[in-house]
Structure 1
Amino acid sequence: MPCMRRLLFLASILLLMASCNSSVRPVTILDGGEVFFVSASGGTPQDWLQQAGLSLNPDDRLFYLGLPIDPAQPLPPASAYVLNIRRAVLLTVVTPDGTRLIRTAAVSVGQALTENDILLYAGDRLTPPAGTPIVAPMAVTYVPSKEVIIRVGEQSIESRTAAETVGAALVEAGIPPQGLDEPLPAESEPLPADGQIRLRRVYESLVIQQESIPYTTETQSAPDQPLGWQEIVQMGESGLALGRVRIRYADGQEVSRQAEEMTVVRPPKTQIVRNGTKVVVETLNVNGQNLEVWRVLDMYATVYSPCNSGIVGCSYGTASGLRAGKGVVAVDPALYAYLQGQRVYIPGYGFGVIGDVGGGYIIENKLGISRYRWIDLGFDDNNIQDLTGWVKVYFLAPAPASIPAILQ
């Protein structure tokens, strides 16, 4: 502040002197921390510098009214002039390609680099920053940026970065990876040579799924009750299991789902049933006939004949050795083992004997009907009746020595 006051005082004296001689103009020259005063009646700034005993080095600059001027060119008329000399200093520029020495009289770091054919971009890394004033020799670190194209979903973002890794480049571009996001290449990888970066936005959602656990049935025998009698001792209840399904999405599209282990939150409750096992023969009048019956079941009937049994050609043989035809009926092999030779009566069909086996599992798979509730009615080839459907089957006395549980 004292120097400034002194400068203003001296400049006022020069102006006063100039008023006494209109052809003489006061010139103030600032050279770093020194101030020089000369009186000029004409000439160029270069002449005034010589008059003050000053000279410019090749890289020095001379400023007038804040703008650089050519010392050899005269200035526009003015009542007084204030010139400022900026002495060139050494700038040591460190780049990835090596170190470069620059002598410059530029005002700022950015100006110095630009004037020396180093074009600066917003993504360049410059230390100190481009706007830093140059007041003395200094070192500058310069890392030029590279052009990158970042694709996020359907959007492409062009950017420049001096980052060393993909992750740092995404952060500089304002789109840092979050959560499960997947940059390609990976975050820790160096920038690709072609500048192409893809950022897949990845997230997961959890879906709770529930699954019913079927209950089992426990059967207890009731020897004092007749076949067909049934009592539910304990009602069964289905159990419940819960589990989570982890669904992963990338750029809005499902890419995977993983089901986690189910947890039983409510175990099933077993159903307990008592079935009668006592064989009781009853006399029933069916279609005007008195029948001695020990069991009556609703069964799903199909029909067949020797030349219409689902195989190529004709087959007259049966599992029992009887000739296939009217009066011979077939059941599932599991029933046949107990009921071979058992006489039955079916309204609309008449009397028959269980003498053959069939594919009850086919009916079970196709129609969802238990194979133990299926019967195949045999006919002669020239007298087939379509009795397909549910029928009542009367099992005639005597009963077999052993009654299978599936008939109890």
Structure 2
Amino acid sequence: MEGRSLPKLGWKDWVCQHSKLIIILGVIVLSLVILVGYAWAGKKVTLQVDRQVIEVKTKAATVEKFLQEHQVELAKGDEVTPGLETKITRDMVITVHRAKSITLIADGKEERIVTTRDNVEELLQEKGLSLGALDLVEPGLTTPLSSGMTVKITRVEKKIEEKEIVIPFNTERREDKNLEKGKTRVIKEGKNGKKIQQLEVTYIDGKVGETIILNEQVIAEPVAAIVAYGTKKTSGTIQTSRGEITYSRKLTMRATAYSPEDPSLKKYGGKTATGIKAARGVAAVDPAVIPLGTRLYVNGYGFALAADTGGAIKGNKIDLCFDTLSEARKFGTRTVTVYMLER
């Protein structure tokens, strides 16, 4: 046995003896080849910029490098998901939301905002604005946002309300032959009625828009007034410096006096309300009591023509014109009897 040499192994024997090692080395090499191949081919990434979507392969290591590689420039306010420092992984989705300048009008306020939201609904959610069942939004919720757009919310609300309405009474006029013409007498006082209306009121941004009467109920009927009007003529005669004259009506009135010389009346240019010259013989009256153009005779003054009016001349008041201011002051204020002459 001593000095005997070992037999030489052939290649086939060597392979058989080291087969397990060879298999392991093969698997390792194949894996490396596959990994290198994948790395060389790049990773598939989906890029979405607002509403545009593309699929590309990239060798970039981070999101920031990827955007630079594809020349996607970011403006102030733009939002990138995931963040710029995130490492690229296979089948990653990178989303770029562009910042948009939007005018938002809601609840009585107008606000200019910058947002990266995609549509109107997302914008309202971002601002914490909720819509009521009847509220309107322009443009619609699904409308994509774009810079310069105006989004307006109109608040609409409907309420059922009750309202008390006055029903005016009518006036019944009755002829009274024993009552002097031009005079009236209340026989029965009128009384307003009352009704309740049930309304559907639509409020638009807090202001009443449309009102619909749903129902109404009369709770008190109006009571008509009855008024007698005189038809009795009261003509008579009086003695004047010009002889006996006939009048159709006699009035007791409070008389004042004025003159075109009064500085406060200069702006009227000496003219009356009827356009004639203001002078002695002109009287300012309330046309509801004495019609303009009526000839008059005034105790203590003489004949006059109702041809002027005045802001303070209401009811049983008359303002008599004198040529001079001293005459007007001398006349002063007094109670007079005014006769409306037959035409």
**TM-score, normalised on structure 2?**
0.51
Q: Identify the residue that residue 8 of structure 2 maps to in structure 1.
A: none
Aligned AA (2:322): F
Q: Which runs of 5+ in 2 are unaligned?
A: 1-19, 69-77, 83-88, 237-245
Q: Distance in 2 between matches of 1:386 and 1:60?
A: 127
| 1:214 Cα deviation after fit | 6.1
Mapping of 1:267-286 within 5 angstroms? 270-279=224-233
Conserved? CA contact 1:93–1:102, under 8 Å: no
1:33-61 Cα deviation digits (max 9, x unpaired):
xxxxx99xxxxxxx996376563246749
Mapping of 1:74-89 within 5 angstroms? none
Matched, 1:303 2:249: no
Q: Identify the residue that residue 375 of structure 1 maps to in structure 2.
A: 318
Matched, 1:324 2:279: yes
Corresponding residue SS for 2:328: coil
Q: Distance in 1 between matches of 2:251 and 2:200?
A: 45
Q: Distance in 1 between matches of 2:126 and 2:282?
A: 88
Q: Identify the residue that residue 96 of structure 2 maps to in structure 1.
A: 144
Q: Identify the residue that residue 5 of structure 2 maps to in structure 1.
A: none
| 1:100 Cα deviation after fit | 1.7
Corresponding residue SS for 2:337: strand
Q: Identify the residue that residue 222 of structure 1 maps to in structure 2.
A: 176
Q: Distance in 1 between matches of 2:286 and 2:190?
A: 28
Corresponding residue SS for 2:25: helix
Q: Which has the higher contact order (CA 8 A, sep 6+)?
A: 2
Aligned AA (1:147): A
Q: Identify the residue that residue 85 of structure 1 maps to in structure 2.
A: none
Q: Distance in 2 between matches of 1:213 and 1:192?
A: 56
Q: Distance in 1 between matches of 2:95 and 2:114?
A: 19
RMSD (Å), alpha carbons: 5.9
Q: Percent identity?
A: 20
Conserved? CA contact 1:91–1:103, under 8 Å: no
Shift in alpha-carbon separation, 1:94–1:203, aligned structure 2, 3 A: same
Mapping of 1:249-260 within 5 angstroms? 249=205
| 1:148 Cα deviation after fit | 4.7
1:307-344 Cα deviation digits (max 9, x unpaired):
446533599x997x9x932x75343567346741x323
Q: Identify the residue that residue 358 of structure 1 maps to in structure 2.
A: 308
Matched, 1:394 2:319: no
Q: Distance in 2 between matches of 1:197 and 1:57?
A: 57
Aligned AA (1:190): P
User: Which of residues 28, 46, 52 is equivalent to 1:93?
Assistant: 46
User: Which of residues 120, 125, 141 is equivalent to 1:166?
Assistant: 120
Q: Identify the residue that residue 86 of structure 2 maps to in structure 1.
A: none
Q: Distance in 2 between matches of 1:259 and 1:244?
A: 8
1:331-381 Cα deviation digits (max 9, x unpaired):
3567346741x3233xxxx3433324103xx52xxx5x64x6442212241
| 1:235 Cα deviation after fit | 2.2
Q: Identify the residue that residue 269 of structure 2 maps to in structure 1.
A: 312
Shift in alpha-carbon separation, 1:229–1:100, aligned structure 2, 3 A: closer
| 1:169 Cα deviation after fit | 4.1
- Tell me the number of residue pairs that the alignment of Structure 1 and Structure 2 aligns: 277
Q: Which runs of 5+ in 1 are unaligned?
A: 1-37, 40-46, 62-87, 105-111, 126-132, 283-291, 403-408
Q: Identify the residue that residue 31 of structure 2 maps to in structure 1.
A: 56
Q: Distance in 1 between matches of 2:80 and 2:127?
A: 9
Corresponding residue SS for 2:56: strand
Conserved? CA contact 1:222–1:274, under 8 Å: yes
Conserved? CA contact 1:336–1:354, under 8 Å: no
Q: Distance in 2 between matches of 1:216 and 1:373?
A: 27
| 1:191 Cα deviation after fit | 1.7
**TM-score, normalised on structure 1?**
0.45
Shift in alpha-carbon separation, 1:278–1:172, aligned structure 2, 3 A: closer
1:167-187 Cα deviation digits (max 9, x unpaired):
34434665455554555x664
Shift in alpha-carbon separation, 1:48–1:176, aligned structure 2, 3 A: farther
Shift in alpha-carbon separation, 1:197–1:305, aligned structure 2, 3 A: closer
Corresponding residue SS for 1:276: strand
| 1:273 Cα deviation after fit | 0.8
Shift in alpha-carbon separation, 1:280–1:98, aligned structure 2, 3 A: closer
Conserved? CA contact 2:170–2:225, under 8 Å: yes
Q: Distance in 2 between matches of 1:393 and 1:344?
A: 7
